[in-house]
Amino acid sequence: MKKLFVENLMFSLNATVPIFMMMIFGWFVRKADLLDKHSTAQINKFVFRTLLLALLFMDLSTADFRAVWDTKFVVFCITATLISVGIAFIYSFVNKDKSERGEIIQASYRSSAAILGIAFVKNIYGEAAMAALMIVGTVPIYNIIAVVTLSLTSPDKNNVKSGKTLFLNTLKGIVTNPIILGIAVGIIWSLLKIPQPVILSKSVSYLANMATPLSLIALGASFKFEDAKGKLPVTLGIVFIKLVLFCGIFLPIAVKLGFRGEKLIAILVMLGSATTGSCFVMSRNFGHKGTITAFTVMLTTLCSAFTLTTWLFILKSLEYI
């Protein structure tokens, strides 16, 4: 059992520590004046509008959805996500600053499903069909709700003259969101079984492989510890909700519904993985400071190495995976 615990710990550390180190690297790069505020903002915009789209397209366009489709599993992922959003919405009211509530909601419910999910499941099972299904059920909801909440709570929202204009701007943000576009194109490509020439697949993979490191470096470069003063209590609450509460609520339900193995691991990643770095990119693109988001991403990334190990150990000990 000790050997198993050590193996699980090392597995989780290998998955999360490099991510945290990339953010630390970005912070040092900023301190060394190799990146300034303007260049960091441009990197964030570039990652959000191009690289994340390529990453999602690469992951989803090669998945065989017809062969692995499981309606019960997808419905569970969607339902758990919506309930999680509701819990995050309620928690956001602990913060008196209304302009920060959108950040709190997004950081509380949104996981590294697309970036970490497929890699995590592949490391264990060698394939990630269930992770791809989980992404289909959750990531569109992640992004639609993020666009709505970040728009409605944006510090710049007072510039919008009417409710109708705000609704149209929000709808436009959803339809033109690069992440949602990447998911839609990837799924359509997969369902139509369109072949990918080597030139296309290699070109897309080059772009996709840049998404995670660049977004993490930009996040670290944008983070200022002095701005995080006073944000620790609300951030620790988010960390508890993200890494402990959701898993404690939904994993027993998933087990009772009969989910095992790869499906249960995909659900674990959906519920209990670190807040994704794209949260920070989106919050900045909608006019938010991003301080709470950046702080949450760093803390959940660090703590998830241990919480994910604990959940894995529990599931493995009970022979559910």
Q: Count structural domains, the chain.
A: 1
pLDDT of 249: 95
pLDDT in tens, 163-206: 566 567 667 766 777 777 887 888 888 888 888 888 888 998 89
pLDDT over threshold 80, residue 63: no
Query: Which residue matches tokens 């944000």?
Result: 231
Q: pLDDT at position 22, please?
A: 83
pTM of the complete model: 0.75
Question: How much is the mean pLDDT over the chain?
Answer: 79
* Statement: residue 109 has pLDDT above 80: yes
Confidence tier at 58 by pLDDT (50, 70, 90): confident
133 has a pLDDT exceeding 80: no
Nearest to 264 by CA among 253, 272, 273, 255: 255
pLDDT tops 50 at residue 160: no
Report H helices in 62-197: 65-68, 71-92, 101-109, 118-125, 129-152, 163-175, 178-191
CATH code of the domain containing 289: 1.20.1530.20
Question: Helix or strand or coil: residue 236?
Answer: helix
Confidence of residue 156 (pLDDT cuts 50, 70, 90): low
Domain limits for position 21: 2-317
Cα Rg of the chain, angstroms = 19
More confident residue, 290 or 254: 254
Cα 12 to Cα 15, 19, 108, 267: the distances in Å are 5, 11, 21, 16
Round to whole Å and give the CA distance between 302 and 222: 18
